[in-house]
Structure 1
Amino acid sequence: MKRENRILIHAPNLSTPGGKQTYFSSLLDHFESDIEFFFYGSQDEKETKLRVLIRLFKDYWNFYRLLRNYDYSLVHLNPSLNVKSFFRDSIFAAICTLTKTKMIVFWHGWQWAFERKTVRNMLIWFRMTYGKADSMLVLAKEFGDQLKVYGYCKPVYQVTTVADPMFFDLESKYENRTVDKFKSKSLTFLFLSRIEKVKGIYEVLESFELLKKEYATITLKVAGTGGELKAVQKYIEDKELQGVELLGWITGEEKIKAFSESDVYLLPSYGEGLPCSVLEAMAAGLPVITTEVGGIKDFFKDEVMGYLVKMKDPVDLSDKIRRIIDSPDNIGTMGRYNIEYARKRFTPQNVGSELERIYTETIKD
């Protein structure tokens, strides 16, 4: 028998690193609907091409059988607009259409270079797969505007990602803290993301190398894993950078500790949807230095929440970091503002409630 609002969420395994995993892990305890997950993708980092193909066919077949055998109110797909996700997940969208199952598509990432080179030349395929969705979710206004250009006429909702609930249980780092540490210019900077070139990791390292000559006591924490991790380790060794700590992929108390021990969050990314790490940094009371990309540009207040920097520009990044170091009073002012802003908009309760409201509207339409 069909239960009211029975939702199947198609997502990567929540025990693996990634923004989608962080998003759904944070919302798990805040759903009122009957939620089930279909986990796709590798459970092992090392796969041959043959194993990848076999796994893909198994995922498609298992997904098809699931939709044929169970009556779901809605399937929630979570693609990104990049070469791997766009084509892989379009087949899952086609299966939803084949089985006459309602679907909502949540675009988590959006690579404009891929969109210009590929998607615009494949609009027929887009319309045959994702274009059949009953509604779509986006993290930035510009993504929704582009969907309309594609000819998508059904509801498009702009939503936000979420900060891990553990950040809202933290005592404000400014309650019993003076600005003495900030005035001493012994600041700790945090970069937490996938370790990839497109996330701006090399701009962070170049800026840190430059500023370390001026401010000997600053330190940098780098958290995450990814394809550039070994190259980043080599870069640090070759440059003999002092004061850089590589934390690897961290969760739970380790993650809380990294944010609590840091003073400023850095993410000079080349492109984003709306990274959970930025919201978590705000919830933890850190000023944020980031680029004006994706959903960040729709809410971020430059010189209030932190600073916006030019993409692929380590000099501009250095200048903004220098402004933070040389204006210690601003750290507390920005940090307190970010805590209040995050509590009003990025809690799992608020984000989960809005998502379920959209589920209900999509199912009823």
Structure 2
Amino acid sequence: MNTSILILSPFLSISGGVSSYVLSLRGFWGINEKYFFRGGHGSNTLAKSYYFAKHFFNFLFKGLLGNPDAPVFINTSLNKNAYSRDLMYIKACRLFKRDFYIFIHGWDTSYFTTIKNHSSSDSFKFAKKIFVLSEDFKNDLVSIGIDEGKIEVEVTVVNSEFIDFFNINKSLFKGDSIKLLYLARLEKDKGIFRLLDAFKILSDNIPNLQLRIAGSGSAETEVTDWISSNSKLDISYIGRIDGTLKYEYFAWADYYVLPTSHGEGLPISVLEAITAGCVVIVPPVGGLKYFFKDQEMGFLLNDLSPSSLANVIIDSLKNVELLNSISNQNFKRGKSLYSPTVVVDRLKKHIYG
């Protein structure tokens, strides 16, 4: 087995699912990990071009030429900015006859439609393996002629500090309140306003109900205005959180709710909520459609209306024994399937056999 791997990634200081994934796996490969970063620099076209060239030639000379035979693990997303940029790195791997593996974290369906009949999509055919986060994404690649045997449906990862923070003794509904957590970007298509409207309905039916909202985004002002206009409800906006504070809010929550209509891959926040022992409520969109097990990880939201979301929570509270079973099974599942060690072991089997 080759003792080195070249890992292409956004800069780890840039927030986002791809950099979080790479950072969570860092140090767990058990071989010499060599990182090459791109993106995130330059405020104008000239500066961006300069930094692109600098990063690309660094990868070319210090990466490919400096590490003969080391495989390349490319972390990208299928959207215009990321894929058009990373296509150059894929072409470099092909030029140097280097084995490369592509992990597609984000998936823009409309962008895929524009490139599926374009020659740029042929580059996928030369990858040794392609990792995606949904069976739908796999089927899309097969539809353009990619060998099905090359495509693996994977999951993202929960970092080791998060996993170590929790223990299996978490019990739901032992206090005098029911606690809901939303932790995601504040965007309309992420479902934040559906949740707020559902919470209003729930508050008329369930005493001592609490909601905490974490994240940032374009709808932040609208969200805070909504909370101010409904000040009698127990809702707090806590902004963007990370580290121990994020762990503490997941530990605090009974339910994690993400009523999104966005074309999700597989949100890390959902894996974190499962690992924390929360009961998760999500719709069957993107990677969640195939990944999420209804009544085992929580509850699927097949109707995105606020009243339907409220009813799912009201009905679930009729069976506290089931809720506690879901919580404990989620914790076990998170530790056994989403830890960095387990994820890296799966990847290495695909890369090294």
TM-score, normalising length: structure 1: 0.85
CA distance in 1, matches of 2:24, 2:152: 20
1:204 matched to 2:201: no
Aligned residue for 1:78, secondary structure, equals strand
Q: Which residue of 2 aligns with 1:105?
A: 102
CA distance in 2, matches of 1:21, 1:311: 32
RMSD: 2.6
- Post-superposition shift, 1:325? 4.0
Q: Which residue of 1 aligns with 2:87?
A: 90
- Post-superposition shift, 1:138? 1.5
Residue pair 2:172, 2:323 contacting (<8 A) in 1 also? no
TM alignment of 1:265-304, pairs within 5 A: 265-269=256-260, 270-304=262-296
Aligned residue for 1:136, secondary structure, equals strand
Q: Which residue of 2 aligns with 1:135?
A: 129
Residue pair 1:64, 1:95 contacting (<8 A) in 2 also? yes
Q: Which residue of 2 aligns with 1:214?
A: 205
Aligned residue for 2:25, secondary structure, equals helix
Structure 1 segments, 4+ long, off by >6 Å, are none
CA distance in 2, matches of 1:218, 1:140: 34
TM alignment of 1:306-345, pairs within 5 A: 306-310=298-302, 312-345=304-337
CA distance in 1, matches of 2:225, 2:248: 26
Q: Which residue of 1 aligns with 2:59?
A: 63
1:171 matched to 2:167: yes
- Post-superposition shift, 1:105? 0.6
Matched positions, count: 349
> Percent identity of the aligned residues?
30
- Post-superposition shift, 1:54? 4.2
CA distance in 1, matches of 2:74, 2:138: 16
CA distance in 1, matches of 2:232, 2:111: 35
Aligned match for 1:156, one of 147, 151, 155: 151
Aligned match for 1:147, one of 136, 141, 154: 141
CA distance in 1, matches of 2:38, 2:225: 33
Q: Which residue of 1 aligns with 2:33?
A: 35
Q: 2:99 is matched by which residue type in structure 1?
A: K
Q: 2:21 is matched by which residue type in structure 1?
A: Y
Task: List per-residue Cα deviations over 1:110-147 (Å, max 9, x = no partner).
Answer: 2334333x13343x2110x3332222112222222221
Q: 1:10 is matched by which residue type in structure 2?
A: L
Q: Which residue of 1 aligns with 2:346?
A: 354
Residue pair 2:18, 2:76 contacting (<8 A) in 1 also? no
TM-score, normalising length: structure 2: 0.88
CA distance in 2, matches of 1:340, 1:142: 27
CA distance in 2, matches of 1:30, 1:273: 23
- Listed as ranges, the gaps of 5+ residues in structure 1 are none
CA distance in 1, matches of 2:223, 2:168: 33
- Post-superposition shift, 1:178? 7.1
Moved more, 207-216 or 269-278: 207-216
Aligned residue for 1:292, secondary structure, equals coil
Distance 1:210 1:86, change over 3 A: farther
Distance 1:58 1:196, change over 3 A: farther
CA distance in 2, matches of 1:231, 1:121: 40
TM alignment of 1:225-236, pairs within 5 A: 225-236=216-227
CA distance in 2, matches of 1:230, 1:353: 43
Aligned match for 1:247, one of 238, 241, 262: 238
Q: 2:15 is matched by which residue type in structure 1?
A: P
Residue pair 2:214, 2:238 contacting (<8 A) in 1 also? yes
Distance 1:205 1:241, change over 3 A: farther
Aligned residue for 2:321, secondary structure, equals helix
